Amino acid sequence: MKLLVCISKAPDTTSRIAFTDGDKRFDESGVQFIVNPYDEWYALVRAIELVEQNGGSVTTITVGEASCDPIVRKALAIGATDAVRIDAIPTDSSQVARLIANYAKDQGYDIILGGKETIDNNSSAVPAMIAECLDLPYVALVTKLEMSGDEATLTAETTGGTNNLSVKGTFVMSATKGIAEQRIPNMRGIMSARTKQLQVVEASAVEISTQVDVFKLPPLKGDCVIVDADNPAELVRVLREEAKII
């Protein structure tokens, strides 16, 4: 099987979030970058497992600048076969999706996998958009994926429950918790990643339809009002009379 996994660069989950350039751009100084958790823990690991069982290859694809290369190397160390980076500044979800779709069409991938969402952009949009660009079926929020021949059996989260689904032929999906367990790269993986191919390709021309005017940090919470532990009725009173919430 021939699998394509979309991985993006994300700030470490404990990063301090700050902005620069008149608050138009995320301030990357001092920030540790990781592979977006949904892409690494779930989409990538499940793809590697499937290829371990059935043979084939796992290619990662990333839209980003050279600063993405360390996280791409990590994906190779975990077990991806090779990697592609489309050299462009990711600006909006449809641009990223179109770039990936333009690259992937005609390449004969069996499954294109992404994560549920990026932890910086939080759009949950790119995989669905890739599917539309390529006119492929799309399954969101997959928690279980089994293959037999060219038929996939999936379990996926949806509003209010889970769906059991099946798809024949090429499809796109987003992965979430449950589909696989996180893998820590070992020394051999890290060594072999150095010699694996990371191909940098030029971006095709695509339009950008949104732009960020400004980023803002949420207002700080006022001081927490502490209520006496022996008198929870007081909490009920403030929730009712001050916060007017119950």
Partner 1 sequence: MSVLVYISTQAGKATNAGLEVASYASALQTGEVIALVAGDISGDGGLGAVGVSKVMHCADALTDNSQQSKLTKEAALSIGAKAVVFSGNSIGNSIAPRVAIAMNAGYVAGATGLPEGKTYTRNVFSGKATAHVQVTTETIVIAVTPNSFGIKNTGGSEAVVEAFSADVGEARVTLNGFTPTSSEGTVPLPEAIRVVSAGRGLKGPENWGIVEDLAKALGASTACSRPVGDMGWRPHHEHVGQTGITIRPDLYIACGISGAIQHLAGVNQSKVIVVINTDPEAPFFKAADYGIVGDVFEVLPKLTAAINAL
Ligand X SMILES: Nc1ncnc2c1ncn2[C@@H]1O[C@H](COP(=O)(O)O)[C@@H](O)[C@H]1O
- Residues in the site for ligand X, rule: CB under 6 A? 6-8, 36, 38-39, 61-64, 90, 93, 96, 114-115, 117-118, 121-127
How far apart CA 131 and CA 174 sit, in angstroms, is: 11
- Give the up-direction half-sphere exposure of residue 88: CA atoms within 13 A in the CB hemisphere: 23
Considering only residues 31, 49, 65, 137, which one is a binding residue for partner 1 as defined by CB under 8 A?
137
Shortest Cβ 232–ligand X spacing (Å): 40
State the binding partner of 158 from ligand FAD, ligand X, partner 1, none, CB within 5 to 8 A by kind.
partner 1
14-53 mask for ligand FAD (x: CB under 6 A)? -----------------------x----------------
Task: Confirm or reject binding of residue 13 to ligand FAD (CB under 6 A).
Answer: yes
Is residue 29 a contact point for partner 1 (CB under 8 A)? no
Instruction: Tell me whether residue 13 or residue 164 sits nearer to ligand FAD (CB atom).
Output: 13
Cα–Cα distance for residue pair 139/79, rounded to 1 Å: 24
Provide, rounded to whole angstroms, the least separation between the CB of residue 37 and ligand FAD: 5
- Going by C-beta distance under 8 Å and a sequence separation of 6 or more, which residues neighbour residue 106? none
Torsion sign, CA atoms 55, 42, 79, 75 = positive
Task: Give the whole-angstrom CA distance, residue 119 versus residue 12.
Answer: 9
Cα–Cα distances (Å) from 216 to 13, 25, 117, in that order, read 18, 11, 21
